[in-house]
Amino acid sequence: MPAADSPQRTSRRLKPCRASQSNSPHLDRTVYNWSKVVVETERLLGRESKPVTASEMVSTQTPTQWQLTEDIALPKLRAFFDDKPFVFFGTGMSCALDTRFGMAALKDELLQKIQPDCNDSVQIYQWERVANSLEYGNSLESALDEVSDSRLLQHIISTTGRFLSCIDRAMAIQISTSNVKWPATSLLKGLVETLPDGDPILHVLTPNYDTLFEHACDSVGVPYANGFAGGIERQMDWPTAKYTLLQRQQVRHGRHLKTIHKYRKHARIYKVHGSLNFFFHRHKVIENNTWMWDAPDFAERVMITPGLSKHEMLQKHRQELLTPADEAIDRANRFLFLGYGFNDTHLETYITQKLITQACKGLILTRDSNPRIELLLRQAQNLWLVCKAQQDGVDGTRISNTRYKDCLFLPTERLWDIRAFTTKILGYEDADI
């Protein structure tokens, strides 16, 4: 564990200040006086916050009577990792390598490439509605609510797959040749290597389609399983996938040696929105890496795109995509969120309930906060936030928890960057800092 910070280090209480730049045009008006944060957050969301009832165990009215200092905050962040967390990472982890993984680039690509069937009035009407919605400044997620035509939806999925696969291929080559490093690589490796022998599995969930996590694991020798097993057309088969991660050991049993099988320390990845290498073929979901970057025309990608059709698609592939993740989430009692903006109610409803009503421990590590994160932070007393902030024209790190009065601002620190956080808080070396 890294040595304590020097007493000469400057840290100070965060006074009302402007948040870091964000996609939200409203976020600059957020101030870090908690009463004002709550009012502004609820105004932006267009609703009053729903108080947590007494039966939900946790009160949102916890007195903030302690001053948060660096001497308190940093040890608290380190203590979060005393037990293994369930890791949840979002688009921010991919955008750190290439911003084209984000929704803004995908929106531009779809507007440029999608051409509805000129003989299908339904497709034409629905895509015009999408284009108009985007022109009025709505998000891609909400704009795609206009799409219900199955052929148009498949066109969107195919276009998304082709666009992202080109970026994914370029980044995968860079990772494989050690020219770049996925931001959470050192954290991931450290968490897996320090797993206890009796609990050797790190559970990881992502809505991302790209395969940067998988390439990062291979680059540093971290074993992982995604539930698929077999040859080129790998089928969903968790029992077999788990079996491949067993290792044989000999232990002394009295005067004799006994052979036992134990799991290697590894990560289990749940790609709940599908992946570039997931396809629906021969009436089942398969994984085929040979099709990932150049899919044949007959191959139907399994990628859950935004919009009202998302729920239908998730239900169609629930057994393959969601059920294993649900079981892992149910067993977890602490959650680490990396580069995730909490904008997908399909995924996070149960987790946020656990944070609020069961007082599960949580840590959000992200560049930019947003009203959804601020509201959750207020309601979950064991949830910490580390994000970028600015005070008096100086960029730094904001650390927040609702139990403490105001927030802590660390000028010039970049702890919101997973690489800096990994080195300073956990002591894992990261050569890319």
* Residue-range domain boundaries for the chain: 12-96+182-223+322-426
The predicted structure's pLDDT at residue 316: 79
The predicted structure's pLDDT at residue 112: 95
- CA-to-CA distance for 235 and 370, rounded, in angstroms? 39
**pLDDT for 139 beyond 60:** yes
> For 177-234, how does the pLDDT look when each residue is reduced to its tens digit (9 = 90+)?
999 999 999 999 999 999 999 999 999 999 999 999 999 999 999 999 999 999 999 9
Sheet with 300-303: strands ordered across: 228-229, 234-236, 284-287, 274-281, 300-303
- Give the lowest-confidence range in 1-10, 173-182, 193-202, 372-381: 1-10
The predicted structure's pLDDT at residue 293: 95
The predicted structure's pLDDT at residue 311: 66
**pLDDT for 433 beyond 60:** no
The predicted structure's pLDDT at residue 261: 86
The predicted structure's pLDDT at residue 305: 85
Q: In the structure, what pLDDT confidence band is assigned to residue 259 with cuts at 50, 70 and 90? A: confident
Q: What percentage of the chain carries pLDDT values higher than 90?
A: 71
Map 380-422 to HEC letters: CCCEEEEEEEEECCEEEEEEECCCEECEEEEECCCCCCHHHHH
Do strands 256-263 and 86-89 pair parallel, antiparallel, or not at all (unpaired)?
unpaired
307 or 408, higher pLDDT:
408
Overall CATH class of domain 12-96+182-223+322-426? alpha beta
Contact 387, 364 (CB under 8 A): yes
**pLDDT for 399 beyond 70:** yes
**pLDDT for 248 beyond 60:** yes
Q: In the structure, what pLDDT confidence band is assigned to residue 141 with cuts at 50, 70 and 90? A: confident
Q: What percentage of the chain carries pLDDT values higher than 70?
A: 83
- Give the N- to C-terminal CA distance of the chain in Å, as an integer: 18
The predicted structure's pLDDT at residue 217: 97
Token output for 72: 């308190």
Query: H/E element holding 10?
Result: none
Contact 135, 295 (CB under 8 A): no
Contact 335, 241 (CB under 8 A): no
On average, the pLDDT of the chain sits at 85
55 or 424, higher pLDDT:
424
> For 162-179, how does the pLDDT look when each residue is reduced to its tens digit (9 = 90+)?
999 999 999 999 999 999
**pLDDT for 56 beyond 70:** no
> For 267-276, how does the pLDDT look when each residue is reduced to its tens digit (9 = 90+)?
999 999 999 9
CA Rg value for the chain = 23
